[in-house]
Structure 1
Amino acid sequence: MTAEDGVAPVAADGVAAVAADRIAPGAADRVAPGALDRTTPVAVVGTGTMGRGIAQVALAAGHQVWLYDAAEGRAKTAADAIAVRIDRMVEKGKLPAGDYAARLLPAASLSELADCGLVIEAIAEQLHVKQGLFAELENIVSVDCLLATNTSSLSVTEIAGSLSRPGRFVGLHFFNPAPLLPLVEVVSGFATDEAAAACAYETAKAWGKTPVRSADTPGFIVNRIARPFYAEAFRLYEERVADPATIDAVLRECGGFKMGPFELTDLIGQDVNEAVTRSVWQAFFQDPKFTPSLAQQRLVQSGRLGQKSGQGWFSYGEGAQRPEPATEPPADAPDRITVHGDLGPAKALVKLAQEAGIEVGFEDDAEPYIELRGGGQLFPTDGLPAGAYEGEDFLVFDWSFDYAAATRIALAAGPRTGQKARAEAAGLFQAMGKKVTYIPDVPGMIVARTIAMLVDLAADAVAREVASQEDADTAMRLGVNYPVRLLDWAAEAGELTVACVLRNLHEYHPTGRYGPTPGLLGRIDPLEYRDLR
C-alpha cells in the first residue's frame, strides 16, 4: 500500500570526500542494539510524500532531522511544509510545544549527513539509483550509522549487495501516510546483522510505531500476503462472475473488509498496484499464485489509473456516480427452517433467524446446511459449486468473518435449483436484515476464495519464517486494515475448512494457483485432509 511518488533521483556525483578518520580501520561492522537515543541526528533522503511523512515521525519523536533531496530547493520546501503540519498539530494539542523548526534542517549536500546515526532513504523505486545513493553514504557516515531503505518492492539484500558493510543495512518499510499508520516492517537482508535489525525495531517502537520483523522476501509481509485480495477479485471480473461494484460490495458488506479491491486500487493507483503485483510475481519466478491481472494491465495501458487520472475501474469526474451492486428484490421469508449439523462460523445465522421470527429446528447431521421450508438446501460454500451437489434445489452462501455484522450475503444456485428455492433463500437472509446478491455458480464464490487464499499465503509466510505468526497477523491488521487476524481466525474456523475450499478450487482450476501450500497443510491432520470429499 505504499509506493514512492516520483521523487527526483539522487545525484551520483558532486559529494565532498569524507575525512579518512571517520572510517576507523578494523571497526566492527555492527550497530549497537536498542533504540537510537533522541539526541542522535536522523536523516531522510527523498522529500516526496513518504520522505516527508517519515521525517515528521522522527521529528515528533525528538530527533534532529536532516532532509536531503537531489532536486535543488526541494528539501527546503519539504522542511517548510513539515513545519506547518507540526505547528497545526501543536495548535490542536496533538503534540506538545517544542523546538521542532530548529531541529528540522534541509541539507544542500549528502556530506552534511555525516554525523547522523540513522539515514532512511525514500527515493524512486529504482535499484541502481538506491545502490548509488548508499554507496555514497557509506563513504560519508560513520561505521555505526544505521542505513535503511523504505522500499516497498525491491530486495533489501540486493540494494545492500555492493556495500562494503552490508551488516548495518536494513529495510524500514513505513506505510502511507507515515505519520498516521502505525505499522513498520523491519526487513533483514541476507547480510543484515541482528544488532542492526534490533536497533531499527526498537527505534521504530520508540517513535510510537508498531514494528514487525520480516525476512527479505518479495513483498515482505503485507505486499506478499495481500496479493489475493486484488488478484481474486480481478479474476472473478475477468471470468464475468460480477461487475466491480458488486464484487466490492460483497467483499465489503459480506466479507467485512473496509474497502473493496476495485475502489482500493483506484485509490492506490492502478499503475502502482499493478507494478507491485508484477514485481512480486516476477520475484517468485512467475509462481501462479501471484499471477497479475490482464484486465488491470489493460486499465494501466489505457491510462485509467484511478482517482489521480479521473478514471479507473470507476469514474471520478464531476457528477460521476458509482454503479450500484447487483441486489435481489424483496422476497418472502420461510416461516421455518431446519439447521443440520454444526454451521461453524455461520452459526450466528441461527440467532438472527430466530430474532426475525423464523422458527428454527435442529437435526444432527455430519453435513452442515440449512433446510428451507420448501425443501431447498442451503450450504456454506466449501469451494464446490452448488451444481456439484446431487439432487435439486441446492444453493450455497458465501463466507463472512462476522455473519451477525454482515449487511449483505452472496448466494449461488445450482442449475437444478428452482425459482421458488432461490426466492425463499433470498427471503431468509433479507429477513435477517441483509441485502442479497446472487452470483453465477462458480467454485469458491467471492469471499471464500479470497479469504482462503489470504490464509494460505499467510500460513506459507510463517512456515517459511518470513515472519512469526504474531507479526504476520499484526501486519495484515495494521497494514491493510483487515477485519480479523487471519491465522487466528483460521485456527478458530478450522484450517481444514480453508484447505477444503482450496482443494476444490484446484480441482476446477488445476494450474497450481489454488493448491494448498505446505505451510497450510502442515497445520492439518494429514488423514483428515486425505478424507476430504
Structure 2
Amino acid sequence: MSANVTVRGSEDVTASEPTALTQDRTVAVVGTGTMGQGIAQVALVAGHPVRLYDSAPGRAREAVDALTARLDRLVEKGRMDASAREAAVARLHATEELGELADAALVVEAIVEHLPVKQQLFADLEKVVGDDTVLATNTSSLSVTAIAGGLRLPGRFVGLHFFNPAPLLPLVEVVSGFATDADVATRAYETMKGWGKTPVRCADTPGFIVNRVARPFYAEALRVYEEGAADPATIDAALRECGGFRMGPFELTDLIGQDVNEAVTRSVWESFYQDPKFTPSLAQRRLVESGRLGRKTGHGWFSYAEGAERPKPHTAPPAEAPARIVVRGALGPAEPLVGLFEQAGIKVRRTRGDGFVELPSGGRLGLADGESSFEYGPEEIIYFDLAFDYASASRIVLSARKRVDPETLNEAVGLFQALGKQVSVIGDVPGMIVARTVAMLVDLAADAVDRGVATAEDVDTAMRLGVNYPAGPLEWAEKLGPRRVCDVLRALHERYPTGRYGPSQAVARRCAEADEEDS
C-alpha cells in the first residue's frame, strides 16, 4: 500500500546543492533540559564546536558540567577514548547571551512547547545570526510553519524532531514547513546522517509521522478497555506477546507519562479539527485528572510503589487439545497455524470453505475480522487475534460471546496450548486487539503517504525506529493484503458508525485495485 509522493524539501540532490555541515561549523543549542543536552551531546560527539544557551542564568554552565559527566561515563564504559573526550570537552562552551551564537551555522531550539515563546526566541535569534544560518526547532507538537511564520527568512527554518534519549535513539524527523527551502531541508537531512542518525523527511502536519501514525496503538487499546473486554495487563500482553510490539500501550504510556501522552493525543485531535480517527480517551483523561501520571508519580495504569506486584494478564487454565480439526478454506494471514497444528500432532483435514477452523464440538474458530461472535446467533463462533508471527508468538488471544459452549471454548484453548502458547480469553469485542490496532495503523500510515506527508519508506522507517514496531505499518499491510485491512475497517465501521473506522481513500483505493487485479 504505497504511493509515489514528493515531500517538500525531498527533491533529488545535485552536486551543486549544499550537503552536511562540516565539523568545523559551530552548532548552537538553545534550551538545556533533557532534550537540549541530548542534542548537544550528539552534535559534540559528531565533532562540532557546540555552544549551549539557556535563558535561566547559570543553566548553560550546569548543562556543560552534566554533559562532561556524561562523556566521562562513556569513557568509563569503553565507548569513548580519553583523547576524544578531552577534545569534545574543549569544543563545548556555555553562553549567557544570545549574541554569542552569532557565528553558529545551525541553531537547534529545545525549549518549552509554547508557540509564542518559540516565536519570540527565533525572532530574537534572527537579529543575531547570519542569513545563512539554519534555524531548527525540536518541537514534537507545534506547527513548524507557525513557529517560522513571523520570520524575515522563513525559508531557512526547519524542524529537527529528535527522540528521547537523543544520543541513543537513531530517528530524526526532518520537517519541512510551508516555507522551508528545499536546500535547507536537504542540508539538515545530510547533517543528521553525518551525525550518525537515521533521518526521515516529512511535511509539516500535526504529529509529523510518528505521533500522527502511532495514535491507534494507544487509542484502540483504550477503547477495548473502556468497553470492558479486557484489563490493561491482558491488553498489553496481547500486543506484546502476540502482536510483537516491544511494549504494551498501558505500560508504555506509564513510562512516557499519562499527561504527556494524553496531551499529544489531544493536540493531534484538535489540530485535525476533532477528526474522530484521533478522538482522545475519557478513561485516560480521568487518569490524568486523578494525578496518576505513571512511573513519575508512582502510579498510572499500574502501581510502581516499592514492593507492588504488577497485575498479570488473564491466562486460561490448561485444557485438553482436540485430536483432530477441520480447516475449511484458507486462513489468510493465519495460514502458518495449519503447519503448527500438524507439528503438534493434531490431525488436520482440509476442505473448501470460508476460512474457519472447525472443532470436534462443531464450533468454529476464525481470525478476527472486525465482526462480533454474538452476531452469528446460536452458532458457536470463537475469534482468535492476529499475530505478527504465529510461530514465535507466546500468547494467543480468543474472544467469544458470554454464552459460548464451555466445551467449544475449552477445545479452542487446548488447541493453542498444544502449540506451547499461553491463551487469554477476552470479551466479545469487534476486531479484538491486535487486528483492529494494526488495521488502524495501516489506515493512518497509508493516508499520510497519500496526502504527501512522507514516502512509504520513510513512514515505515519512522515507525520501526521511533516507536520500535515489529514492522512498518505499510510493510505489515503488504503481508496482510489490502483486502483484509479494508474488510476489517469496514466491519468495524459498521459496528461503530462514527467515522473513526471508515477506511481512508488510500486504503479503499488500494483494495479496489486489488479487486480489479483479481477479476
Shift of 1:53: 0.4
Shift of 1:528: 3.8
Q: Secondary structure at the match of 1:35?
A: coil
CA distance in 2, matches of 1:497, 1:416: 28
Q: Does 1:388 align with 2:404?
A: no
CA distance in 2, matches of 1:316, 1:509: 35
CA distance in 2, matches of 1:397, 1:124: 45
Q: What do the CA deviations read for 1:240-264 (whole angstroms, capped 9, x no partner)?
A: 1111111111111111111111100
TM-score, normalising length: structure 1: 0.92
Shift of 1:527: 8.4
The 8 Å contact of residues 108 and 137 in structure 2, kept in 1 or not, is answered as: yes
CA distance in 1, matches of 2:349, 2:453: 47
The 8 Å contact of residues 224 and 429 in structure 2, kept in 1 or not, is answered as: no
The 8 Å contact of residues 327 and 438 in structure 1, kept in 2 or not, is answered as: yes
The 8 Å contact of residues 392 and 416 in structure 1, kept in 2 or not, is answered as: no
Cα 1:528–1:389 shift into 2, 3 Å:
farther
Q: Does 1:293 align with 2:281?
A: yes
**Corresponding residue for 1:45?**
30
Shift of 1:390: 5.8
Q: Does 1:397 align with 2:361?
A: no
Shift of 1:84: 1.5
The correspondence for 2:222, drawn from 234, 240, 249, is 234
CA distance in 2, matches of 1:488, 1:464: 18
CA distance in 2, matches of 1:314, 1:244: 9
**Corresponding residue for 1:516?**
503
The correspondence for 2:265, drawn from 277, 288, 300, is 277
Q: Counterpart of 1:309 in structure 2: which amino acid?
A: T
- What's the Cα RMSD here? 1.5
**Corresponding residue for 2:126?**
138
Identity %: 65
The correspondence for 1:123, drawn from 111, 116, 119, is 111
Shift of 1:324: 1.2
CA distance in 1, matches of 2:514, 2:262: 40
Shift of 1:443: 0.9
Which 5+ residue runs of structure 1 have no aligned equivalent? 1-30
Q: Secondary structure at the match of 2:470?
A: coil
The correspondence for 1:471, drawn from 451, 455, 458, is 458
Q: Does 1:457 align with 2:448?
A: no
The correspondence for 2:302, drawn from 314, 325, 328, is 314
Matches within 5 A, 1:352-501: 352-365=340-353, 367-389=354-376, 392-414=379-401, 417-501=404-488
Q: Counterpart of 1:93 in structure 2: which amino acid?
A: G
Shift of 1:391: 5.1
Q: What do the CA deviations read for 1:445-504 (whole angstroms, capped 9, x no partner)?
A: 111111110010000000001000000000000000001121112112111101111111
Q: Secondary structure at the match of 2:459?
A: helix
Cα 1:256–1:288 shift into 2, 3 Å:
same
**Corresponding residue for 1:77?**
62
CA distance in 2, matches of 1:39, 1:32: 19
The 8 Å contact of residues 258 and 292 in structure 2, kept in 1 or not, is answered as: yes
The 8 Å contact of residues 175 and 208 in structure 2, kept in 1 or not, is answered as: yes
Shift of 1:120: 0.2
Shift of 1:351: 2.0
**Corresponding residue for 1:326?**
314
The 8 Å contact of residues 383 and 505 in structure 1, kept in 2 or not, is answered as: yes
Which 5+ residue runs of structure 2 have no aligned equivalent? 1-15
CA distance in 2, matches of 1:101, 1:126: 32
CA distance in 1, matches of 2:417, 2:64: 55
Shift of 1:412: 1.3
Shift of 1:134: 0.2
Q: What do the CA deviations read for 1:381-425 (whole angstroms, capped 9, x no partner)?
A: 111012223652211111111111111111112456311110000
**Corresponding residue for 2:10?**
none
The 8 Å contact of residues 244 and 470 in structure 2, kept in 1 or not, is answered as: yes
The 8 Å contact of residues 42 and 58 in structure 1, kept in 2 or not, is answered as: yes
Q: How many residues align?
A: 499
The correspondence for 1:149, drawn from 134, 137, 147, is 137
TM-score, normalising length: structure 2: 0.94
**Corresponding residue for 2:8?**
none
Q: What do the CA deviations read for 1:177-230 (whole angstroms, capped 9, x no partner)?
A: 000000000000000000000000000000000000010000000000000111
Q: Secondary structure at the match of 1:119?
A: strand
CA distance in 2, matches of 1:162, 1:125: 17
CA distance in 2, matches of 1:240, 1:54: 42
**Corresponding residue for 1:340?**
328
CA distance in 1, matches of 2:283, 2:378: 37
**Corresponding residue for 1:64?**
49
Q: Does 1:247 align with 2:232?
A: no
Q: Secondary structure at the match of 2:145?
A: helix
**Corresponding residue for 1:506?**
493
Matches within 5 A, 1:201-216: 201-216=189-204
The 8 Å contact of residues 122 and 151 in structure 1, kept in 2 or not, is answered as: yes
CA distance in 2, matches of 1:261, 1:247: 8
Higher relative contact order (CA 8 A, sep 6+): 2
Q: Counterpart of 2:359 in structure 1: which amino acid?
A: L
Q: Secondary structure at the match of 1:285?
A: coil
Q: Counterpart of 2:138 in structure 1: which amino acid?
A: N
The 8 Å contact of residues 32 and 144 in structure 1, kept in 2 or not, is answered as: no
Q: Counterpart of 1:118 in structure 2: which amino acid?
A: L
Cα 1:526–1:388 shift into 2, 3 Å:
farther
Shift of 1:124: 0.4
**Corresponding residue for 1:176?**
164
Shift of 1:48: 0.5
**Corresponding residue for 2:3?**
none
Shift of 1:323: 0.9
Range with bigger deviation, 464-473 or 77-86 = 77-86
The correspondence for 1:55, drawn from 25, 40, 61, is 40
Shift of 1:352: 1.7
Range with bigger deviation, 372-381 or 327-336 = 372-381
Q: Counterpart of 1:182 in structure 2: which amino acid?
A: P
The 8 Å contact of residues 402 and 427 in structure 2, kept in 1 or not, is answered as: no
CA distance in 2, matches of 1:466, 1:528: 27
Q: What do the CA deviations read for 1:97-151 (whole angstroms, capped 9, x no partner)?
A: 3201100100111110000000000000000110010000001000110000000
